[in-house]
Amino acid sequence: MSDGALEEARNCWNELADDWRVQVGADGDSNRRLNSDPVLWEFAGDVRGLSVLDAGCGTGYRDAPQVRQDLKPRSVAMRIAQKISPCLWFDDQAEEAAKFYTSVFPNSKIVAVTRYGEAGHEIHGRAAGSVMTVEFEIDGQGFTALNGGPVFKFNEAVSFQVLCDSQEEIDFYWAELSKGGDPNAQQCGWLKDRFGLSWQVVPRGMAEMLRLESRCGQPFDTPSMSFESGLPISWRTVSFTDSPWGSSV
Asked if 200 and 187 count as a contact pair (C-beta separation under 8 A), the reply is: no
pLDDT score of 27 more than 80: no
- pLDDT grade, residue 233 (50/70/90)? low
Asked if 220 and 208 count as a contact pair (C-beta separation under 8 A), the reply is: no
This prediction's pTM: 0.60
Domain range 81-150, CATH architecture: Roll (3.10)
Please check whether the domain covering 154-244 is classified as CATH 3.30.70.100. no
pLDDT score of 70 more than 90: no
Q: Where are the domains of the chain?
A: 3-79, 81-150, 154-244
Asked if 235 and 167 count as a contact pair (C-beta separation under 8 A), the reply is: yes
Paired sense of beta strands 190-192 and 198-203, if any: antiparallel
Residues constituting the chain: 249
For 108-164, list the strands marked E by DSSP: 109-115, 131-138, 141-147, 159-164
Average pLDDT, the chain: 74
Identical fold for domains 81-150 and 154-244, yes or no, is no
